[in-house]
Amino acid sequence: MENDIVSGKKVVTRFAPSPTGYLHSGSYRTGLFSCIFALQNAGKFILRIEDTDKERSKKEYEENILESLEWLGLKYDAFYRQSERTEVYKKYIHRLIETGHAYISKETPVTDEGSHSKKNTDATLRAEVIRFRNPKKKVVFNDLIRGNVEFDTTELGDFVIAKSVDEAIFHLVVIVDDIEMGITHIIRGEDHISNTPRQILIYEALGITPPIYAHIPLLLGKDRSKLSKRKGAVPVTEYRRRGFLPQAVVNYLALLGWHPTDDREIFSFDELVKNFDLARVQKGGAIFDEEKLCWYNRQYILKLTDKEFLELASPFMPEWLSSSSDISKRLPHVLKEKITCFADISNLLGVSGELGFIKSLPDFKSEMLLWKKDPNAKESKIHLEKSLEIIETIDEKTFTADVTKVALWSYAETAGKGNVLWPLRVALTGQERSPDPFVSAFLIGREESIKRLKNAITKLS
């Protein structure tokens, strides 16, 4: 493909992670932007695993990348591994040498990143490396986000593009792949801007027009430090493990650095494809705030039907609670309002959790049943007996929080809400802090509510 790869060509983007550690959310945001841009232009989105660093690349990291993209719903049209394309790179090395744009130089071996190896630094151990003959010129390119960017490449010197005539490294393999795969637009982090002038020089040496670049702002931690594989990296699969919804993660990542034309915050994936615009991506770094991600996740949880909620919540339910039980079917009513991710469920339903009373009634002293503003045991017993009488009149089939509230409310208003509802709440939950007594009764069911009211009345006797 030695012709212009941009003009008149179908849009092709790529996501090119290195499997040398778990990728952080900023990396997947790059993949998201690239995927969306390709879809907007009816183009192709390519996944390319850049695993030429043999010492640091690990299969487990590659598998995590594939797993994460699948979970996020980012579908790619083609898949490549650089480690399987060695022969392709050799042709370009020889071509650059033959045209005088590169030459063989004997020196201390280099690492895949182009720096001198920390091993074998003895001056007698010299190897043949391939250096690009730098024309020492100014390089100017138009970045879709940053506008015109200019570099003086003189200070770069003649830089290394291969460890040998058989082993290309980063700067060359990236370009060869982008050429061979027809990449038209490269969307990547701004930390790659410094790589761009070297790569453009190689494109020019090969007589090929470079693709269009868009360097997006870095993702920062709350302390405004750069997220990396070694600092602040949380694998996307960790969010899946904690019960985040992929739609929420995608929605949040899309708005890190990009702002729509209005203040809208919730977008489905299709809506992102329709509304996203690289021109509205900011130049400054975007701060990753997990609290905000939790807010997004909660918005998506609230939209779930009870059936959808139970299906997703099932892996997070305690062993004692069957997903098909009557109690489970009642839980979405209250859990949706209390969780930010599904992992919160285990704490809520644990022994000391706010909803722990559902499994069993905690032991409590009779004094807890007395309303603090009117601590009269005799009166509290009367109110509990009346509440029991009213609850017993409600049919099992219509025993809901709303029905129970309607049935009890008139009496509570007459006798005093605190006087009636406080002992009722404690009788049902054994806790000072819990959902209101109507919801609590609904969660444990009619028969268990009656049983617990009788228990409380006995305590006050």
Q: How far apart are CA 171 and CA 131, in angstroms?
A: 11
Q: What is the pLDDT of residue 109?
A: 58
Summarize the confidence of residues 4-24 as an average pLDDT: 83
Number of separate helices (H) and strands (E) present in the chain: 18, 13
Q: 157 pLDDT exceeds 60?
A: yes
Question: Which pLDDT value is given to residue 13?
Answer: 98
Average pLDDT over residues 171-177: 96
According to the model, what pLDDT value does residue 24 have? 87
pLDDT-wise least confident of 26-30, 78-82, 123-127, 313-317: 123-127
CA–CA separation, 346 vs 340, rounded Å?
Answer: 12
pLDDT for the residue numbered 108 = 64
Higher pLDDT, 231 or 350: 350
Half-sphere exposure of 126 (CA within 13 A, CB side): 7
Q: Residue 277 phi/psi, 5° resolution? A: -145, 115
Q: What is the mean pLDDT of residues 384-388?
A: 97
pLDDT, residue 1, reads 35
Q: Across residues 305-314, what is the average pLDDT?
A: 95
> Which pLDDT band, with edges at 50, 70 and 90, does 114 fall under?
very low
pLDDT band at 230 (very low <50, low <70, confident <90, very high): low
Structure tokens at 459: 């305590």
Candidates 296, 328, 326, 304; CA nearest to 314 is: 328
**Residue 54: predicted pLDDT:** 86
Contacts of 418 (CB under 8 A, 6+ apart): 371, 373, 374
For range 261-287, the mean pLDDT: 94
Beta bridge partners of 287: 220
Q: Return mean pLDDT, the chain.
A: 91
Helix (H, G, I), strand (E, B) or coil at 388: helix
Q: Specify the pLDDT at position 3.
A: 37
228 — pLDDT class (breaks 50, 70, 90): low
Q: Which CATH number fits domain 366-460: 3.40.50.720, 1.10.10.350, 3.40.50.970, 3.40.630.10?
A: 1.10.10.350
Percent of the chain's residues with pLDDT above 90: 80
Q: Is the per-residue pLDDT at 7 higher than 60? A: no
Q: What is the DSSP string of 148-211?
A: EEEEEGGGG-S-EEEEETTEE-HHHHHHHHHHHTT--EEEEEGGGGGGHHHHHHHHHHHT----
Quick check: 103 pLDDT over 90? Answer: yes
* CA gap 167, 25 in Å, rounded: 31
* DSSP state for residue 227 in the 8-state scheme: P
Beta bridge partners of 374: none
Residue environment code for 350-387, b if the CB has 16+ CB neighbours within 10 A, otherwise e: eeebbbbbbbebeebeeebbbbeeeeeeebbbbbbebb
pLDDT confidence band for 107 (50 / 70 / 90): confident
400's tokens: 């809901």
Q: Let me know if 229 is a catalytic residue.
A: yes
Catalytically annotated residue among 9, 90, 229, 336: 229
Beta-strand relationship, 44-49 and 12-15? parallel
Q: Domain locations in the chain?
A: 306-358, 366-460
State how beta strands 185-189 and 212-216 pair: parallel
pLDDT for 18 beyond 60: yes
Please, which residues bridge with residue 372 across strands? none
The answer on pLDDT for 284 being more than 50 is: yes
pLDDT (mean) for 211-226? 88
Place of tokens 């009816």: 42
- Position with higher pLDDT, 303 vs 372: 303
Q: How far apart are CA 353 and CA 431, in angstroms?
A: 10
Tokens of 33: 């932007």
Q: Name the phi and psi angles at 215, rounded to 5.
A: -100, 110
Average pLDDT value for residue range 140-145: 96
Query: What is the distance in angstroms between the CA of the first residue and the CA of the last residue of the chain?
Result: 91
- Segment (H or E) for 287: strand 286-287
Q: Stretch 37-57: mean pLDDT, rounded?
A: 95
The model's pTM is 0.88
Mean of pLDDT values over 320-344: 89
Mean per-residue pLDDT, 374-388: 93
- Cα gap 293→288, rounded to integer Å: 8
Residue 4 has a pLDDT of 40
pLDDT at 102: 97
From CA 252, how far away is CA 270, in angstroms rounded? 14
pLDDT reported for residue 399: 95
Sign of CA dihedral 257, 217, 148, 214: negative
- CA distance linking residue 210 with residue 419, whole number of Å: 77
